Amino acid sequence: MQTPAVQLIGVSKRVGRKTIVDRLSFDIRPGEVFGFLGPNGAGKTTTIRMMVGLIAMSEGDVLFGGISVKDDFRAAIAQVGAIVENPEMYKSLTGYQNLRQYARMAGDVTKARIDEVVRQVDLAGRIHDKVRTYSLGMRQRLGLAQALLHKPKALILDEPTNGLDPAGIRDIRLLLRRLAAEDGIAVVVSSHLLAEMELMCDRFAIIQEGRLKAIHATRGGDGDGDETASGAGRQLPQGTALLLRVEPLEAAQACLAAEFPAIAVRELEGGELRVEAGHDKAPAIVSALAGRELRIFKVQPVAKSLEDTFIELTEEGGDRDAHRFASVRQAVR
Ligand SMILES: Nc1ncnc2c1ncn2[C@@H]1O[C@H](COP(=O)(O)OP(=O)(O)O)[C@@H](O)[C@H]1O
Ligand SMILES: [Mg+2]
């Protein structure tokens, strides 16, 4: 099997008594865009800061191309390009001058390489303009160029589309997908937006309160069992639900609550009921309702959306603090 580009092995961060990141373990493959998805405060930035050595891990290890940051930090981190905080840039210099400056520090970067990354991030037309005239999206792409100069095998970006307009977000998304597909770079991005992760990533890890809740494959993941092998989370289950229209509504709710206490039932706008049960439960539900002489107008099985599943996952364990997930919900509406 191909060596994973990035491996997290039981990565944890404790500050005082608080566990901010709790034993995260998963592998990221060369050529995939991999996301960290979680609400604000989930521990995404802390994880990324540990991965790139900005802060120490309390426990665990991170391997890049099979090399442990604990055994050989220099060799491991040499394979990584990252944007964690705002990239350092001299606004009174041109984009090109910034890259040249950075190349001198990185050493071993040719002029041809600078030109190559400028083309890759689509800045050729503006690279000799001063950075202060750049849009936020252009600055972000210049930061990417900087991170790419030394030909990293893994690129790690904390919330790379934060603050960008829709066109800027699409540019970054296409660029990252291209870098993964064409250059085989493992691209790691974080976001609190489900819709964005679905569009951008091949797979993403759902992280909540520092813990891995699930790994979801968006692009027909090959299901080769990597995750279980490295002890990571389960695949995201995508179940089904039933939509019912039954009259009278209150009597139907009472009947379902009495006969199927374990099944969640929600009233939707327009007086329909959404029953969180699989298709196989439909006959039992219908006969229970019919047995009470309720009038059944509709029974429709529906696939649960990823959003439904995501919200259920991040709310399980009694945390139903709705406002914390408001951003996720808004993003997909
Ligand atoms: N140095 C620190 N000391 C104490 N708590 C911290 C520190 N850094 C981050 N936290 C807390 O850890 C949690 C995770 O933060 P963070 O990694 O920034 O989350 P995210 O990037 O997913 O929004 C938050 O509750 C945050 O307040
Ligand atoms: Mg963050």
Ligand 1 lined by 44 (C-beta under 6 Å): yes
pLDDT digits (tens, 9 = 90+) for 242-253: 999 999 999 999
Question: Which run of H or E residues covers position 275?
Answer: strand 273-275
3-state secondary structure 133-197: HCCHHHHHHHHHHHHHCCCCCEEEECCCCCCCCHHHHHHHHHHHHHHHHHHCCEEEEEECCHHHH
Asked whether residue 269 carries a pLDDT value surpassing 70, the answer given is yes
Predicted local distance difference test score (pLDDT) of residue 320: 40
Distance 22 CA to ligand 2 centre (A): 16
pLDDT of residue 89: 87
Sequence ranges of the chain with CATH classification 3.40.50.300: 6-229
Structural contact between residues 49 and 97, judged by C-beta atoms closer than 8 angstroms: no
Q: Residue 327: pLDDT above 70?
A: no
The more confident residue out of 87 and 90 is 90
CATH of domain 240-303: 3.30.70
CA 260 to chain centroid: 35
The ligand placed nearest to the CA atom of residue 38 is: 1
pTM above 0.85, yes or no: no
Is the pLDDT at 330 greater than 60? The verdict is no
The CATH 3.30.70 domain(s) of the chain lie at 240-303
The answer to whether domain 6-229 has CATH 3.40.50.300 is yes
**Nearest-angstrom CA–CA distance, 126 and 23:** 44
Compute the mean pLDDT over every residue in the chain, rounded to the nearest whole number. Answer: 87
| Tokens 């692009």 belong to residue | 219
Q: Evaluate: CB of 46 within 6 angstroms of ligand 1.
A: yes
From the CA of 47, give the closest atom in ligand 1: 17
